[in-house]
């Protein structure tokens, strides 16, 4: 569970999308629920029991049933375990059944809209089957949350979800550009760039910059160099990167370059602040309050 300050009060609505797995984490969640509008997900009866014990006597906690829609990471695998979890939640005085979650993370970067549509249809069919079983058994499913940036328009077409977990559209990244191509979902521009400085020009054919493994996520490959499509980047160590040059372009020592990170989410939380610009003019600086809060 991500730890952060949520003192803005009950008007702040937060959904923790990963199941918790012990009583200590459940107690932390119960404490947080007193400071904001908190919802949690579970995919095991023990998770319900832990949340019930942690919130006994406190304000009711909204709990959703997490459904595996093909990703295989978390979630119940069909209607029967979902029915059990919903029944246990509604039987706990301190818990409230809020609906279901079905996040199709495996579909977000599928290249080709037809293939992506197939993954989305399969995921939404699994959600619909669970929802039908729950509502037939008398469990109203008010929230059906899932989807994502790469599948947003397809999820809307399916009409199963009532809440979309789109986030990356705010920034986009190289991985989404490669997967979405000219598809309608790619209409969001890439707004996130990483500024890096050329620190050495002593070699032929490339320069060294001060953005390396510690500066961005590396799970999706390498970044691209803004404005120089023929140039390439390679990780050159923890603190350095290698940017190839050509006869027509060879940046000098101290020159700033802009990179499009391969994966925006785990790149943002490696930095303390984001500089907001318009037409190359800095208009604001915002703190990354969640940096280092993965505990």
* Residue ranges of domains in the chain, CATH in brackets: 13-166 (3.20.20.10), 194-287 (2.40.37.20)
pLDDT given at position 280: 86
Residue numbers of the chain with a pLDDT score lower than 50: 1-4
Residue 95 to residues 23, 52, 88, Cα–Cα distance (Å): 15, 6, 9
Given the structure tokens 């999308």, which residue do they identify?
A: 17
Tokens for 52? 């019930």
The pTM assigned to this predicted structure is 0.89
For all residues of the chain together, what is the average pLDDT? 93
Beta bridge partners of 64: 41, 99
SS3 label, residue 69? coil
pLDDT given at position 6: 53
Give the β-pairing of 163-164 and 224-225: unpaired
pLDDT given at position 214: 96
Largest CA distance in the chain: 72
């Amino acid at each position: 569970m991500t730890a952060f300050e949520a003192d803005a009060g009950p008007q702040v609505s937060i959904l923790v999308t990963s199941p918790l797995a012990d009583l200590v984490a459940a107690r932390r969640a119960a404490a947080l629920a007193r400071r904001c509008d908190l919802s949690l997900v579970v995919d095991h009866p023990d998770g319900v029991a832990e949340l019930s014990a942690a919130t006994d006597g406190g304000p009711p906690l909204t709990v959703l049933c997490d459904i595996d829609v093909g990703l295989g990471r978390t979630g119940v695998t069909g209607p029967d375990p979902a029915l059990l979890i919903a029944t246990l939640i509604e039987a706990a005085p301190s818990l409230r059944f809020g609906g279901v979650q079905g996040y199709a993370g495996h579909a977000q970067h599928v290249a080709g809209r037809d293939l992506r549509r197939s993954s989305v249809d399969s995921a939404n069919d699994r959600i619909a089957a669970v929802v039908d079983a729950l509502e037939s058994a008398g469990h109203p499913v008010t929230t059906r949350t899932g989807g994502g940036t790469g599948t947003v328009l397809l999820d809307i077409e399916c009409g199963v979800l009532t809440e979309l977990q789109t986030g990356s559209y705010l920034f986009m990244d190289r991985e989404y550009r490669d997967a979405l191509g000219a598809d309608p979902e790619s209409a969001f521009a890439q707004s996130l760039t990483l500024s890096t400085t050329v620190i050495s020009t002593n070699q032929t054919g490339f320069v060294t910059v001060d953005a390396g493994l510690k500066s961005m996520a590396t799970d999706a490959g390498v970044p691209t160099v803004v404005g120089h499509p023929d140039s390439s980047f390679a990780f050159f160590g923890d603190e350095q990167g290698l940017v190839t040059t050509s006869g027509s372009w060879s940046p000098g020592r101290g020159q700033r370059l802009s990179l499009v990170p391969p994966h925006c989410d785990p790149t943002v939380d490696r930095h303390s602040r984001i500089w907001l610009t318009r037409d190359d003019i800095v208009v604001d600086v915002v703190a990354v309050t969640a940096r280092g809060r993965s505990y």
